[in-house]
Structure 1
Amino acid sequence: MNTEKTIAIVGAGVSGALTAYHLLRKQAQARAIVIDPRSELGLGLAYSTPSLEHLLNVPAGKISAIPDQPDHFLLWLQKNYDAKATASYFAPRAVFGRYIQSLLQAVSGIEHLRTSVQSCRIVSDQVVLNLADGTELIADTVVFAIGNFDPAPLPGVAEETIANGVYCHSAWANATYAGLPADAPVALIGSGLTTVDVLLRLRETGHRGQITAISRHGIFPYRHAPYDPLSQSVIDGEAPVKARDLLHRVHQAIKQGGDWRAVVDCLRTRTNELWLALPVVEQKRFRRHLQRRWDVVRHRMAPSIADRIEAELEVGTLALHRGSLHAVLPSPDGARVQFRTADGDVKELAATRVINCTGPNMNYRRVGSSLLDSLFAQGLAVAGPLGSGLWTDSNGALRNQDELFSDILFHVGPGRQGTLLESIAVPELRCQAAAMATLLVDRSQTPAHAEQDEAAGQISDSDETKRMRSIRISAIDAMASL
């Protein structure tokens, strides 16, 4: 009797690739099938960039893909790319992608289906995946590692500017940069790391015109710089239950002489724990008032990139305006970009191209994914407590509309921001992938006597109860258990 299980991993970016890698590394007694239309595994959107100007925003000494080997990437980097690389070196993202691929090449047994999943359904304790090539795949467990989606639609964008290519919704599409005159003015909506990436790529492709960034907060990410680590965490012991208390602790530590980078980074190991200790109302307050402030200090720029941004701001080839987008209207030369300032005034500037750099859309009900639409329609998944991402438990199990957590549908990656604060950076993703593999390997190693009982059709009611796919848990208990 063939008792081998099938684990399907939907998505082959870093989250999916590392999950597959750890499954094989741990010798899972199961088929590991990765489903992704891309020809290459492990790159995803972030690490398939063609630009060597796009650097990691974490130094080499802190971005190993293997949690229990912190120097793994640095040693690989020194051997395969730059022998002089140090722990503080910021490597190109494309190089990190090759590092992930080297891990996959070190294990055998990963099956790759070059297609996408259109929908899924549960049938007799298994998952039936409907693929874009017209076939079906039956899996015992599915790990969704679907990565990020394009930004949410912006208000006031005229259809004509979309149709003629003046307004570009994706910062990553090659068409966004095609046919742009070198001296043409460009407007970027947003001022986060995506904006920085777009500016670098524009300059790399020969663009020398004026670039203007417009964002509600009017702040670029801060820069990385050396600092002396703190001897202990800013927040020890019991986690605060108010966002203002968290902020107060951080301010106090800085006032007492701690470098702000050291203060922020010392929270890294407890960030999600601290987040989950906040009641939902306090999480909403954080999202509304503190999220952007956290982002600019937490997700920092490599020093060399920060130097370039500051230099462009100084000479005026880059301008930053604080305001919210009001409209993108057609004009003979491209578009009239209108934005509303904090005073309520509407200002306008001209641009040949307007690029949406606002970051990925986390409203998974509106990202246009047929797979997610299928999960939501069947009640197999629900949005997180604040309405974004996916609601998962501490193992990444999907919660359904009946408040049950599945034991056959899981998620790793950005979608877990439905319940977590941090779930996009490699230090978090590598831990999620490794933990997911451990969970699934443990589950795949069925005791011999259980296999014999199952073959004889003698599973008792108590055994059946123990292997039920999900458990009922209240919203409050769910948050507490994460």
Structure 2
Amino acid sequence: MSAENEIVPPPGAAHRFAVVGMGATGVGVFVALVRSLVAGGRAAGAEVHIFETKERLGAGVAYSTPHDCHLLNMRASTMSVHPDDPDHFVRWLSAHPGAGPAVESEYVPRRLFAEYLQEFFEEALVEARQCGIKVRTHKSVVSDCREDARGVHLIAGLDHFVFGRVFLCLGDLPSTAYLEFTKLPTYVHSMWQGAGLETIAPDATVGILGTSLTAVDALLQLRGAGHRGAITCFSRRRALPKVQGPSVRYTLRHVTEENLGRLTDGFTRQLEFAEVAELFRRELEDGLGLAIDWKRVLARPAETFTHTLARDVERAERGQTLWYSILDATSEIVPLVWRTMSAGARASFMTEHLSIWSMFRHCMPLDNARRLLGMATDGAFTVASELSAVSYDEEDAVFQVSAGGTTHRVRWLVNATGTGFALDCSDSSLIQNMLMRGDITPHPLGGIDVDFDSLRVLRRDGSHSARAHYIGPLTRGVHFYTNSFETNLANAHSAVAAALN
């Protein structure tokens, strides 16, 4: 190509950045980007464009709920937006007039964290403008993102933009399971979007697909709204989440970077599942000071779910939950553990062990557990395992849910299965357009494949994008622990560092 026919990027494109999606992860990217541009002396003349359809920036799906029964599942002391200042959120709560006694309870309503994120964003916005960074907000849906020699092209509504770097932060996308029911008026595909649970009649029978923390949120919201009808939660394998007890600071002895380096011969080979399981077994047994009957722990409980829940609440109240503090201490190193595992080990974990891990790792606050126990004791809900099939009886206008050899008939059905990771089923036009062209690649374990360190998206041809980064829950196959705010915040910093390097 001759010099006069070269494709030249539009003026200033190299200094123009886009952040698509301004939930918690998008805010983390924006703040990291602003502060890195300022620290690097590159603020003057830079532009940051924000794309978000919601009025509130920072809430996203995770923290947009207005209901006080929806608590953070992590203690306030673990939710700081400043990794080097872990008490920042706690101090913010203490100074916030709307927090009240919730500060002392440690688990605060998620709406407060959304306000905290919004204030964090606004502080960075002021800093950006004072330092010469132009920030523009577009309340439109980004429908496409493609890259060529000129830069990264975004289509948002009728507008076409070209950027030097783009950070895609779409957050928790709706479940990609049970899509066949989405047009039925008594099916709630996402309790966080649209009318959600508000349209369910107080006396209606309700089925909730899942027994995770999202199902707990649904139960508590229905209870708070005065729902009186029978509710059944359905699960394939797992029971309700375990219960968090008092926080205990724990220092890892076995699941450490040093041991991972030793086991992998300096990170030159990958670990099989048995090797990783042995590390965690030693950590738990050494930390607890006793041998664990793993067959009993991993077995399906013989008693009723109400009995199991009552026992878990009692143990949490007595402080007999050191195992949770041990697992919680692994948060920062889990992405590295995941990276060292072989493809077969990861696949085995996802298909055979993810449900039990989630039950013990993603536990509910004691306050929520007490409320659930009261509901269960009153007969307000029950749990049915071994979910095998779901169908809709058009004649009677009811859902039929088969679980444990019994068919349950419910008027309303609520999907509480969480984020959808099947890209080909996603309702995002952005994802579908990029997937169709091969500009993103599905990860074998679900979600989007990216480079571990830079978060650059992987193309179908095996190359990584030079300018497009994806950060958030959909990188689970690469980073695993992406439902964690701290993991996504760390990845936001990594992506920004790679973009500005």
* Length-normalised TM-score, structure 1: 0.84
Q: Verify the 8 A CA contact 1:389 1:415 in the aligned structure 2.
A: yes
1:78-121: CA deviation from partner (whole Å, max 9, x where unpaired): 10143666586111101100000001111234321110111122
For residues 290-329 of structure 1, the aligned pairs below 5 Å read 290-329=353-392
What is aligned with 2:196? 176
Q: Does 1:94 align with 2:111?
A: yes
The letter for the 1-side match of 2:189 is H
The letter for the 1-side match of 2:140 is T
Cα offset for 1:391? 3.0
The letter for the 2-side match of 1:195 is A
Cα offset for 1:265? 1.7
What is aligned with 1:265? 328
d(CA) in 1 for partners of 2:88, 2:387: 43
The letter for the 1-side match of 2:148 is V
What is aligned with 1:375? 434
Q: Verify the 8 A CA contact 1:214 1:325 in the aligned structure 2.
A: no
Cα offset for 1:407? 2.3
Change (3 A) 1:71 1:323: same
What is aligned with 2:226? 206
The letter for the 2-side match of 1:389 is I
Change (3 A) 1:168 1:7: same
The letter for the 1-side match of 2:17 is I
What is aligned with 2:56? 40
Q: Verify the 8 A CA contact 2:399 2:413 in the aligned structure 1.
A: no
What is aligned with 1:465? none
Q: Does 1:17 align with 2:27?
A: yes
The letter for the 2-side match of 1:381 is I
Cα offset for 1:71? 1.1
* Length-normalised TM-score, structure 2: 0.81
Change (3 A) 1:398 1:203: same
Q: Verify the 8 A CA contact 2:18 2:165 in the aligned structure 1.
A: yes
Q: Does 1:402 align with 2:402?
A: no
For residues 169-248 of structure 1, the aligned pairs below 5 Å read 169-236=189-256, 237-239=258-260, 241-248=271-278
What is aligned with 2:167? 143
Cα offset for 1:67? 1.5
d(CA) in 2 for partners of 1:296, 1:22: 33
d(CA) in 2 for partners of 1:121, 1:82: 43
SS at structure 2 position matched to 1:238? helix
Cα offset for 1:2? 5.4
Cα offset for 1:387? 4.3
Q: Does 1:66 align with 2:82?
A: yes
- Of the three residues 240, 265, 281, the one matched with 2:344 is 281
d(CA) in 1 for partners of 2:394, 2:14: 62
d(CA) in 1 for partners of 2:382, 2:139: 43
Gaps of 5+ in 1: 444-482
d(CA) in 2 for partners of 1:332, 1:52: 38
Q: Verify the 8 A CA contact 1:392 1:416 in the aligned structure 2.
A: no
d(CA) in 2 for partners of 1:426, 1:3: 31
What is aligned with 2:72? 56
Gaps of 5+ in 2: 1-10, 130-134, 264-270, 289-321
Change (3 A) 1:113 1:246: same
Cα offset for 1:205? 1.9
d(CA) in 1 for partners of 2:346, 2:12: 48
What is aligned with 1:349? 408
SS at structure 1 position matched to 2:332? helix
SS at structure 2 position matched to 1:415? helix
Cα RMSD over matched residues? 2.2
d(CA) in 1 for partners of 2:105, 2:455: 32
Cα offset for 1:150? 1.2
1:317-363: CA deviation from partner (whole Å, max 9, x where unpaired): 1100102241232266641422143xxx3x11221211111111111
What is aligned with 1:477? none
1:52-76: CA deviation from partner (whole Å, max 9, x where unpaired): 1100011011110122221111111
The letter for the 2-side match of 1:426 is F
d(CA) in 1 for partners of 2:286, 2:329: 15
d(CA) in 1 for partners of 2:186, 2:100: 44
Cα offset for 1:226? 1.3
Change (3 A) 1:100 1:227: closer
Q: Verify the 8 A CA contact 2:188 2:197 in the aligned structure 1.
A: no
Equivalent pairs counted in the alignment come to 433
Q: Verify the 8 A CA contact 1:365 1:373 in the aligned structure 2.
A: yes
Q: Verify the 8 A CA contact 2:89 2:116 in the aligned structure 1.
A: yes
SS at structure 2 position matched to 1:394? coil
Q: Does 1:364 align with 2:394?
A: no
Change (3 A) 1:4 1:166: closer
d(CA) in 1 for partners of 2:323, 2:62: 27
SS at structure 2 position matched to 1:43? coil
d(CA) in 2 for partners of 1:14, 1:295: 22
What is aligned with 2:477? 418
Cα offset for 1:37? 1.3
Cα offset for 1:313? 2.0
The letter for the 2-side match of 1:329 is Y
Deviates more, 1:173-182 or 1:377-386: 173-182
SS at structure 1 position matched to 2:220? helix
Cα offset for 1:43? 1.0
Change (3 A) 1:228 1:175: closer
The letter for the 2-side match of 1:210 is A
d(CA) in 1 for partners of 2:388, 2:423: 23
d(CA) in 2 for partners of 1:395, 1:428: 14
The letter for the 2-side match of 1:98 is E
Q: Does 1:431 align with 2:458?
A: no
1:170-224: CA deviation from partner (whole Å, max 9, x where unpaired): 2223433244321222110111011111111112222122211001014111111
The letter for the 2-side match of 1:356 is N
Q: Verify the 8 A CA contact 2:287 2:326 in the aligned structure 1.
A: no
Deviates more, 1:281-290 or 1:321-330: 321-330
SS at structure 2 position matched to 1:106? helix
Change (3 A) 1:353 1:385: closer
Change (3 A) 1:316 1:365: same
- Of the three residues 123, 143, 149, the one matched with 1:106 is 123
